[in-house]
């Protein structure tokens, strides 16, 4: 299954040290050849303007209320995506796009 933007997946995220990894939910933002760019999904509440609390998290396949951290991006090989959970709904997608457009930009 090829990951699509807007989908929530469980990814095997490697630790920086390379000694281990942890399964974590991620939001696929875009694909780039054999890679995907993803944003972290957490059960922690929003803490900055770049965090988006999902209103319809059950439709996205998540077990608990969740927040997408648009400031926590990873570029992963697609083979690190283990299984698809679901898709963000239109309302949450609109909110994510609005926050991206207003808050994510180069600052140099």
**CB 103, CB 70: distance < 8 Å:** yes
Predicted model pTM: 0.94
Which domains are seen in the chain, by residue range? Answer: 7-103 (2.30.30.110)
pLDDT per residue as tens, the chain (108 positions): 899 999 999 999 988 887 899 999 999 999 999 999 999 999 999 999 999 999 999 999 999 999 999 999 999 999 999 999 999 999 999 999 999 999 998 888
Is the CA virtual torsion 95, 42, 44, 74 positive or negative?
negative
- Of 57, 50, 54, the C-alpha closest to 73 is 50
Residues facing 21 on adjacent strands: 14
Q: Which residue has the tokens 């992963």?
A: 76
């Amino acid at each position: 299954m090829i990951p699509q933007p807007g989908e929530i997946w469980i990814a095997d995220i490697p630790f920086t040290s390379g000694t281990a990894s942890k399964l974590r939910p991620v939001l696929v933002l875009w694909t780039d050849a054999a890679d995907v760019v993803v944003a972290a999904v957490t059960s922690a509440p929003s803490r900055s303007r770049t965090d988006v609390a999902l209103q319809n998290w059950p439709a996205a396949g998540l077990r608990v209320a969740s927040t997408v951290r648009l400031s926590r991006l990873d570029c992963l090989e697609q083979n690190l995506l283990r299984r698809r959970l679901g898709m963000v709904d239109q309302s949450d997608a609109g909110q994510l796009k609005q926050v991206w457009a207003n808050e994510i930009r180069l600052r140099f």
